[in-house]
Homo-oligomer: A and B are copies of this chain.
Amino acid sequence: MAEIKIFNPDGMTKPAPYSHVAYAKTQELVFIAGQTPIDGTGAVVGRGDFEAQCAQVFANIHTALRSVNADWKNVVQFTSYLTHAEDAAAFRAYRGREFPKMFPGNAYPPNTLLIISRLADPDYLLEVQTVAAL
């Protein structure tokens, strides 16, 4: 069982809903491919609906985590890619609302938020890559 400590060092901002540092003492790591807003059949969910796509992306990450008997508390790194800068506020709002339920005690994993040109499918509005420690 990994010993995970997620925190914001002294002298740095207290961002939310993410933290600056995740420390993991572990011998078991899980690398999850960037999750996109598709369902189990491969169909795009919520075309043009950022909120619906967020929900699907995090549902997919959770399915992947559960497949190795892990859960949100095991996440040590998120890297989040958006294709439209104007969705960044909605992404923060989504996380601000949902992450407190997913990550009790404000133990929000480090996140890097990037606006890029495109994802594999032009209908994908976001993709989130995850590393977890068991």
**Residue in B12, B27, B30, B109 whose CB lies within 8 Å of A22:** B30
Residues A115 and B110 in contact in the complex (CB < 8 Å), given A9-B64, A12-B40, A29-B24: no
B-side contacts of A115, CB under 8 Å? 116-119
Residues from 31 to 47 in A contacting B, C-beta threshold 8 Å: 31-35, 38, 40-42
Copy number of this protein in the oligomer?
A: 3
Q: How extensive is the interface on chain A, given as a class?
A: 35 or more
Residue-wise interface mask of A (2-13) relative to B, using a CB-CB cutoff of 8 A (1 in contact, 0 not) = 000001011111
**Residue in B20, B30, B64, B79 whose CB lies within 8 Å of A64:** B20
Docked Cα-Cα span, A10 to B64, in Å, equals 9
- 8 contacting pairs across A/B (C-beta < 8 A): A9-B64, A13-B42, A21-B68, A29-B76, A113-B120, A114-B119, A114-B127, A115-B116
Q: A21-B68, A85-B117 are in contact. List 11 more A-B contacts (CB 8 A).
A: A10-B67, A11-B40, A13-B41, A21-B30, A23-B30, A25-B28, A26-B29, A34-B114, A79-B129, A81-B114, A115-B118
